[in-house]
Amino acid sequence: MTQHPSGDDVAQGRSFIEDGRTALGVEFGSTRIKAVLTGPAGEVLASGGHEWENQFADRMWTYSLEAVEEGLQAAYADLAAAVRQRYGVAVTTLGAAGISAMMHGYLAFDAAGDLLVPFRTWRNTTTERAATALTDLFDFTIPLRWSVAHVYQAILDEEAHVGQIASITTLAGYVHERLTGERVLGVGDASGMFPIDSTTGDWDADRLVQFDELLARDGVAAPWKMRDILPQVLPAGAPAGRLMEAGARLLDPTGTLQPGAFVAPPEGDAGTGMVATNAIAPRTGNVSAGTSIFAMIVLEHALSAAHPEIDMVTTPAGDPVAMVHCNNGASELNEWCGLFGDFAAAAGVPLETNVVFETLFRQALEGEADGGGLLAYNYLSGEPITGLAEGRPLVARTPDSRFTLPNFMRVQLYSAFATLKLGMNILAGENVAIDSMFAHGGLFKTAGVAQRFLAAAMGTSVTVGETASEGGAWGMAVLALYRSYCESAGAGADDLRAWLETTIFADAPTSTLEPDEADVAGFEAFIERYVAALPVEKLATEAMS
């Protein structure tokens, strides 16, 4: 793969664009919507983006559907402008496209297709009663953010809209339907709505029956069965519709983009992260770092027991995956970097954002291995792994700690990986083997910093590829390319692993860092302080209401 072609590669890129031998991937992250256009082998031709933020309205984290539409168009327009600037041509056709988004949450529609309640995102932790009851019923961990937990919590709370539900989906599923008219979902994204049976690649039939029986026992007179309101589940490469005229106008209101492109099954950010890091084989894992942070480990055998800290999901091909999902990732770190950038501007030396991040991240490398005795919690929202329904970002230190910029930045980076470390310890106790760990997301853009600290936290080598900062949008474009391949070759989900190896990652440049012994010992000292002081974080949520 080559990234952002220049020189002689510009002519080739222009040819790909003019001939429609391209794939578009769009991913709706928590703070950024990113669009990536690739050539036929996954080479990045151009990218675009749009910043957005969730709102905390009526004690729920949400995004409006108007913001979804506006953000999609803005990200695509930014991409189209980049194509015109670099290649001197407009994007009129696409070979394939795909939509990815943050997983889970609750989007419920009536029979007319109208949204019944504002979108409830993965960030909400208001479903504890429902998640606990369903976990007990299914003997299978149902996280607070899963769609089925939101459905059942609405039932328990006797919300008026429940009887009007005709369909539920994820954000990626919603946008895909707007583009194609098809109410489908990739199996990886689907596995964050309701349990999946990995032997069939479909919803778990026995647990669907259990859920409907539970409603009957509760006396809920819902005019629907659970299977009826869920979308159709599809594996990677399966037919999932084409870009229709209304979808093309939704993406590009200027009328330049024409309909007809193959559209891949919509996926969640976990699945696109696995594809972007080529971590879909058993004993491989990946870490995706953004507003949230999560690790995905493809299993070679089932876990011995259900763990509330571990989600069981699937790869885009339907293979079982243990997922350690932490609600809080890089957001607080971004806030601090923004603050230092503001200081530089106030001092009369304004810096580009990337320079601020690069400078501060490099400072972290100079910090003491344990962070000099400092402590930080990055909890902007609740964190189920540590049992907190809400969060309050904190920085704390003892009088004898070494409060320096390098120590401060090292501890901010450590805190981004701390809760992930606690979840991974559970998998270690289950003897889950990991041969290789890959990482992606903007956190790894500064080479050798976050990657080094993640290796210390995981106690294993960590590999980052050159597309690491392109993240899931690139992974979704790759899945769109695979959809085109399956159409022409008659392949299926079983071929995804081999196709990635031979077509996308055969010559992909990567860098691997082994854990440094001093960093490992320092991180262990930090995490010991972190766990011991968790009652302070809990008290902060109670005192700072």
In 3-state terms, what secondary structure has residue 266?
A: coil
Six-digit token string for 120:
């409830």
Task: Dump pLDDT digits (tens) for 360-391.
Answer: 999 999 999 999 999 999 999 889 899 998 99
Beta strand 96-101 with 394-396 is unpaired
Cα angle for residues 219, 221, 223 (degrees, 5° grid): 150
Q: pTM of the full predicted structure?
A: 0.83
Q: What is the CA radius of gyration of the chain?
A: 23
Q: Say which range, 80-84, 123-127, 171-175, 194-198, has the weakest mean pLDDT.
A: 123-127
Cα pseudo-dihedral 422, 524, 466, 238, rounded to 10: -20
Q: What is the mean pLDDT of residues 145-159?
A: 96
Name the percent of the chain lying above pLDDT 70: 98
Q: Please classify residue 525 by burial: count the beta carbons closer than 10 Å to its beta carbon, then call 0-12 exposed, 13-18 middle and 19+ buried.
A: middle
Q: What is the pLDDT of residue 468?
A: 60
Q: What is the mean pLDDT of residues 183-194?
A: 96
Q: What is the pLDDT of residue 3?
A: 46
Task: Dump pLDDT digits (tens) for 437-476.
Answer: 999 888 898 989 999 999 999 999 999 987 666 778 999 9
CA distance 240 to 100: 14
Residue 437 or residue 493, greater confidence: 437
In 3-state terms, what secondary structure has residue 23?
A: strand
Task: Dump pLDDT digits (tens) for 312-364.
Answer: 999 998 889 999 989 999 999 999 999 999 999 999 999 999 999 999 999 99
Six-digit token string for 531:
């766990």
Q: Is the pLDDT of residue 305 over 90?
A: no
Task: Dump pLDDT digits (tens) for 34-57.
Answer: 999 999 999 999 999 999 999 988
Predicted confidence band at 8 (pLDDT cuts at 50, 70, 90)?
Answer: low
Q: What is the mean pLDDT of residues 5-16?
A: 80
Q: Say which range, 82-86, 169-173, 219-223, 285-289, has the weakest mean pLDDT.
A: 219-223
Q: What is the pLDDT of residue 2?
A: 37
Task: Dump pLDDT digits (tens) for 264-280.
Answer: 999 999 899 899 888 89
Six-digit token string for 377:
């919690």
Beta strand 232-234 with 196-197 is unpaired
Task: Dump pLDDT digits (tens) for 90-137.
Answer: 999 999 999 999 999 999 999 999 999 999 998 888 999 999 999 999
CA distance 408 to 394: 12
Q: What is the pLDDT of residue 5?
A: 46
Contact 296, 270 (CB under 8 A): yes
Contact 274, 316 (CB under 8 A): yes
Q: Is the pLDDT of residue 4 over 60?
A: no
Contact 195, 140 (CB under 8 A): yes
Residue 206 or residue 493, greater confidence: 206
Q: Which of 245, 325, 242 is nearest to 289 (CA)?
A: 325
β-bridge mates for residue 267, sequence order: 100
Location of structure tokens 């700072």: 544
Q: What is the pLDDT of residue 182?
A: 98
Q: What is the pLDDT of residue 386?
A: 94
Q: Is the pLDDT of residue 436 over 90?
A: no
Average pLDDT, the chain: 93
Q: What is the mean pLDDT of residues 217-242?
A: 93
Q: Is the pLDDT of residue 509 over 60?
A: yes
Predicted confidence band at 507 (pLDDT cuts at 50, 70, 90)?
Answer: confident
> DSSP letter at 115?
B
Q: What is the pLDDT of residue 1?
A: 41
Question: From residue 214, how far is each of 60, 155, 222, 225, 466 by CA, in Å?
Answer: 26, 11, 12, 11, 49
Q: What is the pLDDT of residue 510?
A: 86
Q: Please classify residue 199 by burial: count the beta carbons closer than 10 Å to its beta carbon, then call 0-12 exposed, 13-18 middle and 19+ buried.
A: exposed
Output the DSSP codes for 460-498. S-EEEETTTTTHHHHHHHHHHHHHHHHHHH---GGGHHH
Q: What is the pLDDT of residue 254?
A: 97
Total Cβ atoms within 10 A of residue 399: 6
Phi, psi of 422 (to 5 degrees): -65, -40
In 3-state terms, what secondary structure has residue 217?
A: helix
Predicted confidence band at 491 (pLDDT cuts at 50, 70, 90)?
Answer: confident
Contact 290, 471 (CB under 8 A): yes
Q: What is the pLDDT of residue 457?
A: 95
Question: From start to end of 360-409, where are the E strands?
Answer: 375-377, 394-396
Output the DSSP codes for 120-150. B-TT----HHHHHHHHHHHTS---TTSHHHH
CA distance 455 to 513: 7
Q: What is the mean pLDDT of residues 235-255?
A: 97
Q: What is the mean pLDDT of residues 380-408?
A: 94
